[in-house]
Structure 1
């Protein structure tokens, strides 16, 4: 009897996992929609200063796009029960994710070196928005890296197979979400000056 209840609980948990993830991603999307809307409205201020995005943001964008591809490949190979290639692509995704974070902070250094600060006397409305929105995205990337570490650990202890890879799939969905979110933010900052 207990075994049957436990199986029913696990099955119900699996059924609710994706919808709950989608609900949370929708709420995160609303957060960034609000932040970018405030950015658009603030552009009309008299003290708005326009500047180009730091080159490091271009590099970080390339890295996060490649990391989504490597995560897709990890999912592809776990479906084939190829543990070795799944491991390779999960490690690659993790390295690329850390590289993304590194180049985001390099971009912040470039902004500071050009005299643009997050807050204080030398800050501008635009630079404050870019720092704030990017830092909010980095918080989601940090969550994505934690998810990736959990997925990697679960893969190492052989919890995923071609028949049971829900955790890896959920991790991939979230990772693709933060990837798409950054591409949106990057293009937004690039075109809305």
Structure 2
């Protein structure tokens, strides 16, 4: 095992590892987000609205990260009273985060969006649990195309049906955008918080 000759070498290695971890997290988040967006554009998609408790829990965990960072700064300055107060505030915010997560998942579960087994992955998928009719004829989906009486429907007809279904399912991008902004902010704060100090 290689020994580091100085703290400077160790800091460089740790900084590189933190940077790789942050980049990996951002890439994972971007990949999953793009997968969801591609799936949403490809087929009919039932829009699931997340409970607002998740926004509150995200904000509380963000604030608790800031208070924890402030406690660390005051600890370096030797101000014990401020450190204790900020750590207690961080603990309370963490408890609030846990409570709002519990409430959010309970609300999500009670609204019928619970993942119980692999069978639930087909819930909301077109053709499995619901079908749309046009002029008293069912629009079928064969895995690639939408069909009426074995004939492909035109893209104009498909756009009409999608527009109609959008009125029922709704499109809510503001909540998704807010969650994306908060997640990016958290990643940036964590990156700046846990960066090793320069000596």
Residue in structure 1 matching 2:55, options 38, 55, 58: 58
Q: For this pair of structures, how many residues does the alignment match?
A: 128
Equivalence map 1:47-86=2 (5 Å): 47-86=44-83
Q: Write out aligned runs for 1:48-127 (5 A).
A: 48-118=45-115, 119-121=118-120, 123-124=123-124
Q: Is this contact kept in 2: 1:78–1:86, CA < 8 A?
A: yes
| Deviation of 1:171 (Å) | 9.4
Question: Normalising by the residue count of structure 2, what TM-score does the alignment of the two structures yield?
Answer: 0.52
Measured in 2, the distance between the counterparts of 1:40 and 1:16 equals 36
Partner in structure 1 of residue 17 of structure 2: 20
- Alpha-carbon distance change, 73 to 109 in structure 1, aligned in 2, over 3 angstroms: same
- Match of 1:66, SS state, is helix
Distance 1:65 1:15, change over 3 A: same
Assess if the C-alpha contact under 8 Å between 1:60 and 1:99 holds in 2: yes
What is the CA distance between 1:80 and its match in structure 2? 1.9
Distance, in Å, in 2 between the alignment partners of 1:108 and 1:30 is: 26
**Structure with the larger helix share:** 1
- Give unmatched runs, 5+ long, in structure 1: 1-5, 126-133, 135-140, 142-168, 175-193
Asked if 1:46 corresponds to 2:47, the answer is no
State the TM-score, normalized to the length of structure 1: 0.53
In 1, distance between residues paired with 2:10 and 2:91? 27
For the pair shown, the structure with the greater C-alpha radius of gyration is: 2
In structure 2, stretches of 5+ residues that fail to align are 126-178, 180-185
RMSD: 3.3
Distance of 1:43 and 1:110 partners within structure 2: 23
Structure with the bigger percentage of strand: 2
For residues 80 and 28 of structure 1, what CA distance do their matches in structure 2 show? Answer: 32
Is residue 117–residue 124 contact of structure 1 (8 Å, CA) maintained in 2?
no
* Cα distance between partner residues in 2 of 1:65 and 1:34: 23
